[in-house]
Amino acid sequence: MAPGNVEVVRSLFDAQWRGDERAMLEPISPEIVVTQFPDQLDARAFEGHDGVRQAMRDWIGTWDDWTIELIRATEIDGHVLAIAVQRGRGKASGAPIEGEVAFVFSFRDGLIVRWQMFRTEPEALAALSGGEAA
């Protein structure tokens, strides 16, 4: 039996935590589109597995001691809303960060085809209810 969408997202976070890039990319479609936080000044979309790698490098590369912990994942109309806490220190400033972030994962044929990043759960829910999650 194939895993459900929530289990797929949990496995993605587990693989990230272990540093297992191959396992992290396994449930991700080669045609994936990753979008950064909508309010980010230099926000852009990343495409494909190379895009996932670049998006992760761009974000994680700005922090020392960065970690992310999945708090919960919920399926909503075929998408998965994931809430996580990230922690780290800014590389340039040394300033600590700890805060929740939200992600919306969209699926097609059992694979993640869209990974959207949001600063808050209400922003992610608004995208889901407004049809912005594809």
Residue 19: phi, psi to the nearest 5?
Answer: 80, 25
Specify the CATH architecture of the domain 5-129: Roll (3.10)
Summarised one tens digit per residue, pLDDT across range 41-99 is: 788 899 999 999 999 998 888 889 999 999 999 999 999 999 999 999 998 899 998 99
pLDDT band for 38, please (50, 70, 90 cuts). Answer: confident
The answer to whether residue 131 scores a pLDDT higher than 90 is no
Region 9-18: mean pLDDT is 94
For residue 119, the 8-state DSSP code is: S
Q: Where are the domains of the chain?
A: 5-129
As a whole number of angstroms, the distance between CA 12 and CA 129 comes to 24
pTM above 0.85, yes or no: yes
| Sheet with strand 45-47: strands edge to edge | 45-47, 28-35, 111-118, 96-108, 79-90, 63-76
Q: What ranges in 19-69 are assigned the alpha helix state H?
A: 21-25, 48-60
